[in-house]
Amino acid sequence: MRLDPPVQRRILTFIESRIPDDPRRVGKTMQGDQRAWRYRVGDYRLVCNLDDAARTVVIVRIGHRREIYR
């Protein structure tokens, strides 16, 4: 599934401005997995894995909230 350009810009702006500071401050953990985090950007969700040793955030999935958790 391809995202609309306005949604792409909104998600990119969120990633560039909010996640680099402290990824744990703005997100929530996924139930059952403390490495997986979710971020809310309007009606869309980003599911990410955080690696503290490498200090990286790997985006695993991006999707609409009604579809992302299936």
Query: 34 near 40, Cβ under 8 Å?
Result: no
Q: For residue 24, give both structure tokens.
A: 């744990």
Local confidence pLDDT in tens for the 70 residues of the chain: 789 999 999 999 999 998 888 888 999 999 887 779 999 999 999 999 998 888 899 999 999 999 988 8
Q: What is the DSSP string of 31-64?
A: TTEEEEEEEEETTEEEEEEEETTTTEEEEEEEEE
Domains identified in the chain and CATH numbers? 5-64 (3.30.2310.20)
List, for residues 18-34, the tens digit of each pLDDT value.
888 888 899 999 988 77
Residue 13's CB is within 10 A of a number of other CB atoms, namely: 11
Residue entry with tokens 């997986």: 36
